[in-house]
Structure 1
Amino acid sequence: MKTENRFQQNVQNFGRFLSGMVMPNIGAFIAWGLITAFFIPTGWIPNESFGSLVGPMIKFLLPLLIGYTGGKIVAGTRGGVLGAIATMGIIVGADIPMFIGAMIMGPLGGYLIKKLDEIFEGKIPAGFEMLVNNFSAGIVGALLAIIAYQAIGPVVLGLNNILKAGVEAIVNAGLLPLTSLFIEPGKILFLNNAINHGVLGPLGIQEVNELGKSIFFLLETNPGPGLGILLAYWAFSKGTVKQSSPGAIIIHFFGGIHEIYFPYVLMKPILVLAVIAGGISGVFTFNLFGAGLVATPSPGSIFALMAMTPRGGWFSVLLGVVVSAVVSFLVASIFIKKSDDIEDEEELRSAKERVQNLKGKQKKQISENSPKYNISDIDKIVFACDAGMGSSAMGATTLRKRLKKEGFDIKVLHKAIEDIPSDAKIIVTHKKLTERARNKVPQAEHYSINNFMDSSEFDQLIERLKQ
């Protein structure tokens, strides 16, 4: 059992690392997607001049951002610079967008300069620090760019061609809907970001470069299956579960935070069949009617899907979402109507705890800090997560309301761990991320929680502020 949990944790950590290179740059991807949707020859407002931005952005800007972010995750800004230099070598050596190459070279550049700095630490004569640091980075960066251009680029290009051939074989065989057998359960295990940004996103962007749109952007982000689950609970459950469903629907479908429906599936694990059925039917519909998006919609809100839909594609995208929601609703209804214990409030609470366990969290709320700052010194509280979106944004909203109710006038921010302000006095994270946040800002008070949506999780923090 421990081996299984360790494997699951390692997979999730790897997935977080992959998505951590992409998610901070989602704004750039959306900007590129909007320019593509509007200004390419088949776009909403064809414009040759503005459309000329599409190629350089996809070939140079986006991979460089990924490479820089990957290096920065490993070794800070210095690692980011080396990651970008190394990524440039692999970009120039290929004719296709090198997103996979950027995900390799970025962290590699950061890792190498980090190790080199550790070797030189404490051995540089006084007054030569800047000289050694700058030239060591320049030499390593130049060598990495050359190696990437000559050796690593062709290998990554070959792997990319193999992956592309495999995907084309699946599509040509009509088996694309069956990917939902892996994607939908993977989402429940919190591999959604890894699947979407680490695998499907790069494949989709490459396809957009060739066809102008891609179905890969719809495989994981489709809100239909989760919507069907929540609608079924709203229609056929009782008590707390029924009352909480409408709010969850708004957060999931319009806000794009899919994690909100995961506890409702885990409440009755048999409902994974409903989301799989919804996913398969949705992908089949997308494929049948030629649906596709121009970039990853993030978060997976219906509004984001519509914004990333090319001209003439709204009907096919909406139809796929509706079909997947209806199928998921019908299958889920069968199991929910047969239940005799859905009204039990403890059932939902237990499911939420299982969600946290899947994310590698423990139930106990902890803080290893004694108060370090007076209340007058605390001008903000920072929620931090991998990307600074999603769960931390919801948690910031929940705490903001709780603080207002308690009479505190303290600003609440949500940030990615890498972007936590150095002057933050109080930082709140999921338990699994607390150590990373503590390494980033060791002088702050760090509070670990399990569920950003549960107001009772903040009791300890509120009591600390009252002291």
Structure 2
Amino acid sequence: MNDAVKAAGVETSGRVRIQQFGRFLSGMVMPNLGAFIAWGLITALFIPTGWLPNERLASLVGPMITYLLPLLIGFTGGRMVWGIRGGVVGAVATMGVIVGSGIPMFIGAMLMGPIGGYAIRFFDRKVEGKIPGGFEMLVNNFSAGIISMILALVSLVLIQPVVGGLMTVLQGAVGWIVDRQLLPLASLFIEPGKILFLNNAINHGVLGPLAVSQVTEAGKSILYLLEANPGPGLGILLAYWLFSKGTAKDSAPGAVIIHFFGGIHEIYFPYVLMQPILILAVIAGGATGVFTFMITGAGEVASPSPGSILALMAVAPRGGLLPVLSGVLTSSIVSFIVAMPFVKRAASRMSESDAAASLETAKDSVRDMKNLGKIESIAFACDAGMGTSAMGATRLKKLLGESGMTGIQVIHCSVDEVPRGTSVVICQKSLVDRVKASNPGSRVYGISNLVNAGEYREIVDELAAARA
């Protein structure tokens, strides 16, 4: 194996590990976004500077941010590792970093939750088959209790000071960047990271915990807007809509609606990957939006998830709606202007047959579905199992119903939680290898464009042919 191949392999492996780590971090937060939004809305409404100030109702804000949200993250992290037992131990372990801390301990929860899950998993595997009959419940309950106690004490005495110091350093670094008007430079890392499907990890794993601390002090945080801003993606999609041709042009209007109003940013990633030079457009748009947010004093009181313009408006503080919309607008304009010449040049070189190539590839990739036999279940999978997969599953259900095909269960889920025995798994092409590795008995179909009705129709037609 030559050096170039080795280097490419190392780079790919490293990127996959980073993506998996990022997905694990975001996986602890995303299932609990409803709780974060509830806290954000209560904060926006009832704190002294809120829309409807109320001292009694505002008393919910502190306990929720200090205890409820970190405990939910810790429980979810432990459960991801070892089910309910892991979740319980993870939550107790998380309590150790919460008590006595002067800041919200989200980073500590992301650390201690999985540690609790791994600890109880290690114990359970070691004693498997060695517990005398009739003592299973006793051992299970006391082992979880003892391990939880030890981890809570360790996290209180050792982990909390370390995490607290780390959070102080991070907050100081963010403050230093903001004070020196350098925050737009963050787009150099955030926008390319999003295109590599690290958007949830960036937003919920890194920026979110820091933003919460700013909200408790200032009532809002600009950090919530850095990744969630739909402006850069909107500019890209508008450029394709107006200046491209073929499948990309036809699918762009639907992608605009899904991205801008539905908040599913993943929809525009393939459009950028078609022409990687467009990363410059999203970086320019993102940096412009951040600069606008800074000079107008924009911020949000909670994470606008999904990153829809409607969500951004819903969690804007009182008097803060115009600055948020200004940043979205300027980022869209700049992204569109930078992307326009590249999209036009590519379109001038593209024949109609080239534009339809992805659709033909889709047709070829489903030919062997006829050999599946009876198809009982279809899973639409994405990173978190909430955004793109839910949209894809809804679209597929509608087409199946229109084709008169009943009795096929269509679900949406995370790529790591596809049920065993699923007949067909549909996902974005970037996730195909992961799905195949964990579901060797399933037919895995990689779809290139979530709004390309032709690809969905091909799947349904082949399923109908297989049933005939």
The TM-score, its normalising length taken from structure 2, stands at: 0.88
The one of 442, 445, 465 aligned to 1:449: 445
1:387 corresponds to 2:399:
no
Corresponding residue for residue 354 of structure 2: 346
Counterparts in 2 of 1:147 and 1:367: CA distance versus 1, 3 Å: farther
Residue 71 of structure 1 pairs with residue 69 of structure 2: no
Question: 1:200-219 to 2 correspondence within 5 Å?
Answer: 200-219=207-226
* CA distance 1:24–1:349, change in 2 (3 Å): farther
Instruction: Assess, with a 3 A threshold, how the Cα gap between structure 1 residues 427 and 350 changes in structure 2: closer, same or farther.
Output: closer
* Sequence identity (%): 59
Root-mean-square deviation (CA, aligned residues, Å) is: 2.9
Closer, same or farther: CA 111–49 of 1 in aligned 2, 3 Å: same
1:42 correspondence with 2:33: no
List aligned pairs for 1:227-376, cutoff 5 A.
227-339=234-346, 340-342=348-350, 344=352, 346=354
1:80 aligned partner: 87
Cα offset for 1:401? Answer: 2.7
| Cα distance change, pair 343–397 in 1 and its aligned pair in 2 (3 A) | farther
Give the distance between the partners of 2:239 and 2:384, measured in 1 at CA: 31
Partner of residue 176 from structure 1, selected from 170, 179, 183: 183
**Structure 1, unpaired ranges of 5+:** 357-362
Counterparts of 2:224 and 2:294, CA distance in 1: 12
Mean alpha-carbon deviation: is it higher for 52-61 or for 455-464? 455-464
Q: Output the amino acid matched with 1:170.
A: I
Question: Could you tell me which amino acid in structure 1 is paired with residue 444 of structure 2?
Answer: S
Counterpart amino acid of residue 399 in structure 1: L
Q: Which moved more, 1:110-119 or 1:412-421?
A: 412-421
Give distance in 2, aligned partners of 1:367 and 1:66. 42
Q: Pick which of 55-64 and 404-413 moved more.
A: 404-413
Q: Structure 2, unaligned stretches of length 5 or more? A: 1-7
Asked if structure 1 preserves the Cα contact closer than 8 Å seen for 2:241 and 2:252, the reply is: yes
| Structure 1 counterpart of 2:411 | 413
Q: Give the residue type in structure 2 aligned to 1:449.
A: Y
Task: Give the Cα–Cα distance (whole angstroms) in 1 for the partners of residues 370 and 174 of structure 2.
Answer: 50
User: Are the counterparts in 2 of residues 449 and 457 from structure 1 also a CA contact under 8 Å?
Assistant: no
Q: CA deviation at 1:367?
A: 9.7
What is the distance in 2 between the residues matched to 1:53 and 1:367? 56
- Decide whether aligned partners of structure 1 residues 428 and 338 sit closer, same or farther in structure 2, where only a CA change above 3 A counts: closer
Preserved contact between residue 367 and residue 446 of structure 1 (Cα < 8 Å): no
Displacement of 1:404 after TM fit?
A: 1.9
Q: Please say if residues 231 and 329 of structure 2, whose CA atoms lie closer than 8 Å, have aligned partners that are also in contact.
A: yes
Q: Where does residue 398 of structure 1 map in the other structure?
A: 395
TM-score of the pair, normalised by structure 1: 0.89
Instruction: Check the 8 A contact 1:12/1:191 in 2, yes or no.
Output: yes
Q: Which residue of 2 aligns with 1:8?
A: 15
Which residue, 49, 54, 58 being the options, matches 1:51? 58
Deviation at 1:186, TM superposition (A): 0.9
Give the 3 Å change call, closer, same or farther, for CA 352–329 of structure 1 in structure 2.
Answer: farther
- 8 A Cα contact 2:415 2:435, kept in partner: no
Deviation of 1:261 (Å): 1.0
* Over 4 Å off, 4+ runs: 342-345, 347-353, 363-372, 416-422, 424-427, 435-438
Give 3-state SS (helix, strand or coil) of 1:298's partner: coil
Distance of aligned partners of 1:319 and 1:345 in 2 relative to their CA distance in 1, 3 Å threshold = farther
Letter in 2 for 1:256: G
Q: Counterparts of 1:128 and 1:368 in 2: how far apart (Å)? A: 50
How far apart are residue 397 of structure 1 and its match? Answer: 2.1
Secondary structure of the corresponding residue to residue 123 of structure 1: coil
Q: Tell me whether 1:101 sits opposite 2:108 in the alignment.
A: yes
Whole-angstrom CA distance in 2 between matches of 1:352 and 1:261: 21
Q: 1:457 to 1:161 in 2, by over 3 A?
A: farther
Residue 228 of structure 2 aligns to a residue whose secondary structure is coil
Amino acid in the other structure paired with 2:26: S
Structure 1 distance, partners of 2:35, 2:173, is 28
Deviation at 1:280, TM superposition (A): 0.6
Q: Cα offset for 1:316?
A: 0.3
Matched length: 449
| Matched residue, 2:3 | none
Amino acid at match of 1:150: V
2: distance between equivalents of 1:348 and 1:170? 46
Equivalent residues of 2:424, 2:445 under 8 A apart: no
